[in-house]
Amino acid sequence: MIKIKWVKSVDDIPTDLWQKSFSPDLEGRWWYSVMERSKLDDQFEFLYGLLLEDEKPIGIVPAFVNDVPIELVAPAAVAVALRAVSKLIPACSYQRTLFVGSPCSDEGTVGLIPQVSLAQVVRPIHKAVLEQAGKIKAPMVVWKDFPQSAQSALDTLCKNSPVFKMVSYPGTILHFKEASMQSYLKGLKSSHRHKLLKKLKRSKEQFSFDTVVIQNPDEQTLNEIFALFWQTYERGKTKFERLNKEFFSLIAQQKESYFVILRYPNQGNIVAFMLCFLVGNKVINKFIGLDYSIARESSLYFRLWQTAIEWTTSRGIKIFQSGQTGYSFKLDTGNELEPLFNYCQNRNPLINTIFAQVARTISWASLDQDLAVYLKAHSAEQIENKNAG
């Protein structure tokens, strides 16, 4: 007998279960605790499913509730109509959604003890999630950004069921054959390597920056970091969560957190940062911030990237994970795309049918212009190679 008991805080679940359910290379209890304490109540309501088998704890189902803007989930024609109606009835402008997963996490995760597989518990979890969605009056349920490793288990939800699968923004990742900058550069396509080295050379001829990797920065440094993050956030095309200074203050205190920083010489102003998590045998590039007054002419992103890769490989790490969005820069620096998927169900059968039809039309190219350009070029390259052969 498998069931879920819903609780409101990470503290309501035994610490040893967090340790058993989330491997060291995942964002574990520390991450969910930070999100919970970051005063994001105006955006998210967090909850956790304590997964029980015959009353014995076997896992944790992280979840959150978010009022998603209707434009992100409704077909275009429906969104236009609802936008007009929402001027009179504001509630029509959003879709209350219960997500399995976490805001900002690189991948959706259900934490399970080693003896239990997702395939064994996926159906009772989904049933419990639907029941909880009904209690909190959330019409939509979404398993958010789950990787290919979970695909076979989650695909079973779609068989003879209203659940539908939808392509999500892909993740990005680098695998180094050896933990060295030379190995990274050698692994790049020759065109990408030439482009990167040329940008770095020109930048260093014109701009001098000091570089440092620190933990738990002081208040003044955090203020500069957050200001740069906000510059980058405001320029972003895709916005789901809106992080605040409280989040950065809390995440900075975690032993997994490292800030890669570029600043003007002699303790001058910070011009770029990258927040990285060192978890298990990999580094996660979580957030960046750039001074856009000099970003283009200084190739600031690429200078920051070089520093982060040098630090990562100096720690003997061979996996560098960079998450979603910003694909143009990430593809230029050799990242591979990692497919991620959403599994969705609207409790209204008619709306669910409409959404399922729309989901079939969604692809990487329709989600992001950078991906569309990449896929077009990649297809052309494949055709050229085929013809040459």
**pLDDT by residue, tens only, the chain of 389 residues:** 899 999 999 999 999 999 999 999 999 999 999 999 999 999 999 999 999 999 999 999 999 999 887 666 454 555 666 666 666 666 556 789 999 999 988 899 999 999 999 999 999 999 999 999 999 999 999 999 999 999 999 999 999 999 999 999 999 999 999 999 999 999 999 999 999 999 999 999 999 999 999 999 999 999 999 999 999 998 876 667 889 999 999 999 999 999 999 999 988 999 999 999 999 999 999 999 999 999 999 999 999 999 999 999 999 999 999 989 889 999 999 999 999 999 999 999 998 898 888 888 888 988 888 999 989 887 755 544 443 33
Q: Given this model, what pLDDT does residue 83 score?
A: 66
Domain with CATH 3.40.630.30 in the chain: 2-170+340-374, 172-337
Local structure of residue 335 (DSSP, 8 states)? P
Q: What does each C-alpha distance from 345 to 126, 130, 142, 144 come to in angstroms?
A: 10, 9, 7, 12
Smallest CA-to-CA distance from 316 within 274, 279, 282 is with: 282
CA distance linking residue 111 with residue 235, whole number of Å = 34
| Helix H or strand E encompassing 199 | helix 190-206
CA distance linking residue 341 with residue 101, whole number of Å = 12
What phi and psi, each to the nearest 5 degrees, are found at residue 264? Answer: -65, 150
Q: Given this model, what pLDDT does residue 388 score?
A: 38
CA distance linking residue 272 with residue 211, whole number of Å = 10
What Rg, from alpha-carbon coordinates, does the chain have? 22
Which residue in this structure is represented by tokens 């800030």? Answer: 259
HSE on the CB side for 216, CA within 13 Å? Answer: 3
Q: Given this model, what pLDDT does residue 69 score?
A: 76
CA distance linking residue 388 with residue 155, whole number of Å = 39
Does the CA dihedral 298-300-304-306 come out positive or negative?
A: negative
CATH topology of domain 172-337: Aminopeptidase (3.40.630)
Token pair of 381 as six digits: 């390259």
Q: Given this model, what pLDDT does residue 159 score?
A: 94
Q: Given this model, what pLDDT does residue 384 score?
A: 42
Query: Given the DSSP bridges, would you call strands 94-100 and 140-147 parallel, antiparallel or unpaired?
Result: parallel
Q: Given this model, what pLDDT does residue 71 score?
A: 65
Q: Given this model, what pLDDT does residue 95 score?
A: 83
Q: Given this model, what pLDDT does residue 152 score?
A: 96
In CATH terms, the superfamily for domain 2-170+340-374 is Gcn5-related N-acetyltransferase (GNAT) (3.40.630.30)
What phi and psi, each to the nearest 5 degrees, are found at residue 370? Answer: -60, -40
What phi and psi, each to the nearest 5 degrees, are found at residue 347? Answer: -70, -15
Q: Given this model, what pLDDT does residue 92 score?
A: 57
Q: Given this model, what pLDDT does residue 235 score?
A: 84
Query: Cα 202 vs. chain centroid, distance in angstroms?
Result: 32
Would you say 375 and 339 are in contact if contact means Cβ atoms under 8 Å apart?
A: no
Would you say 73 and 355 are in contact if contact means Cβ atoms under 8 Å apart?
A: yes
CA distance linking residue 175 with residue 282, whole number of Å = 10
Token pair of 332 as six digits: 């230029």
